[in-house]
Structure 1
Amino acid sequence: MPVLRYTPDFAELQTPTATLAIGSTGTLQFLGGNSVAEPLQNRSAIIEFRVENVDWDYERLADFLQPYIVQHPTIMPWGNKSLLFRDPDGNLVNLFTPVMPEAIKKFESKE
C-alpha cells in the first residue's frame, strides 16, 4: 500500500477502514510537548477517532474525563480540532473533527 508523506515529520498509511499515522518526535510539540509520547512507557502510540463534533463530545464527557485530559479541544496546524486524553491504562486518545477546508476535503474523499 502506498504511504502518503505530508511533511518530513508526518506520513499516513491509508486503508479502506483505518489510517495508520506515523509522526516523528518533532510533531509532539503540537500535542503537548515531548512527554506526551514516551517509548517504553505505554506512551508511544495515539489512538484516534474521528467524531462528528469534538466540542459536543468534550461537553458530554468533560466531567468524566477531567482528570485525564491532556489537551482541551484545540485546532491543530493540519486542520483538525483535537481533544487529547489518557484512557485508564495511560494510552493517549485523540477525538478529532476536521474543521479547516483542507482537512475536511481530505476526509470527504474517504466517505
Structure 2
Amino acid sequence: MNFVSIRIITDDIDRLVEFYEQVTGMTAERPAPVFAEFVMPTCTLAIGHSKTAQLFGADSVVAGNNRTVIMEFRVNDVDAEYVRLKPLVGDWVQEPTTMPWGNRSMLFRDPDGNLVNLFQPVTEDAVKRFEGR
C-alpha cells in the first residue's frame, strides 16, 4: 500500500489554491475548476470544492470543519520560511520552536482553519530518522 494524497474540501477553492501556491512555491495543476493538485515527490496535496463532496455521498465531508489533522511539510530552513510566510499567514499557532523529538517546527492555520506544520530535522537523531524519506 502507498499513501498517495490528502485532500482538503473547501467552499472557496481559488482562495485555498492561491494560499498553498504561496506556501509551497508551486503552481497547482487544475484538471477541473473544482479540483486542484500539488504533486510533490513524496505525496500530493489535493484541494476539491465542496461540490465534489457530493460524489462521496451526502454529508460525508463538511468543508472547513477539520480540527484533527496536521499537514506536514519538510523544509530546508524553518526560520527563513517563517520570515517569508509571516505576511501571508493570518493565524499562527506556534512560531519556530525546536521540539523534544528534534525537529524545528512552526504551525499555522490555512484560510479554512486546517493546521499546517513546516518542519526541519535539526538534531542528529532527527536527521537520521528522515534519511531516505
TM value normalised by structure 1: 0.61
Could you tell me which amino acid in structure 1 is paired with residue 109 of structure 2? R
Q: Distance in 2 between matches of 1:44 and 1:62?
A: 24
* Rg (Cα) greater in structure: 2
Identity of aligned residues (%): 60
Shift of 1:63: 1.6
- Residue 68 (1) aligns with residue 91 (2): yes
Q: Supply the RMSD in Å over aligned alpha carbons.
A: 1.6
Q: Which of the numbers 44, 51, 68 marks the counterpart of 1:44? A: 68
- Shift, 1:74, TM fit: 0.4
SS state at 2:130 partner: helix
Give the 4+ runs in structure 1 shifted more than 2 A.
none
Unpaired runs of 5+ residues, structure 2, are 2-40, 44-64
- Alignment size in residue pairs: 73
Residue 108 of structure 1 and its aligned partner are, at CA, apart by 1.6
CA distance in 1, matches of 2:103, 2:124: 10
Provide TM-score, normalisation by structure 2. 0.51
Match of 2:107 among 84, 104, 108: 84
**Structure 1 gaps, min length 5:** 2-15, 19-40
What is the deviation of 1:64?
1.7
Name the one with the larger helix percent: 1
